[in-house]
Amino acid sequence: MRIAATPFVADITAYPGIRTAHADLTGTQHAPTLAVVVTTEHDADLADIRHRLNTHGLPRLRNALDLTSLPVTLEFRFTTKTGARTV
């Protein structure tokens, strides 16, 4: 299932404020869960990031996996680094 998470991570890493992201799909094929770790800039709009995940990234991933639901844990980490983002 890691292959399915790769495009998801590439997609969400492009969201404003996100520096890096990592996602793991665990569980079974018929009952997967998703663990997401997002590293953001210190002034990132976390509500906007969560909204984009809920309305864009996660629905696309659920559709790709042909799932009606996908339990998710989301962890935010913060960086004070400046400069180019890692994609």
Task: Give the model confidence (pLDDT) of 11-22 as tens digits.
Answer: 999 999 999 999
- Tell me the pairing of strands 32-41 and 72-79: parallel
Give the residue numbers spanning the domain of 61: 2-79
Residue 29 lies in a domain: yes
| Count of domains for the chain | 1
Residue 84 lies in a domain: no
pLDDT score for 62 = 94
Q: What is the pTM of this model?
A: 0.85
* Mean pLDDT value of segment 29-57: 94
| In the block, residue with structure tokens 């309305």 | 55
DSSP 14-35: TSTTEEEEEEEEEE-SSSEEEE
Task: Give the model confidence (pLDDT) of 72-85 as tens digits.
Answer: 999 999 987 765 55
Residue 74 lies in a domain: yes
Residue 86 lies in a domain: no
Q: Is it the case that residue 45 has pLDDT exceeding 70? A: yes
Q: Which amino acid is at 59?
A: P
- CATH for 39: 3.30.70.1350
CA pair distance 42, 23, nearest whole angstrom? 21
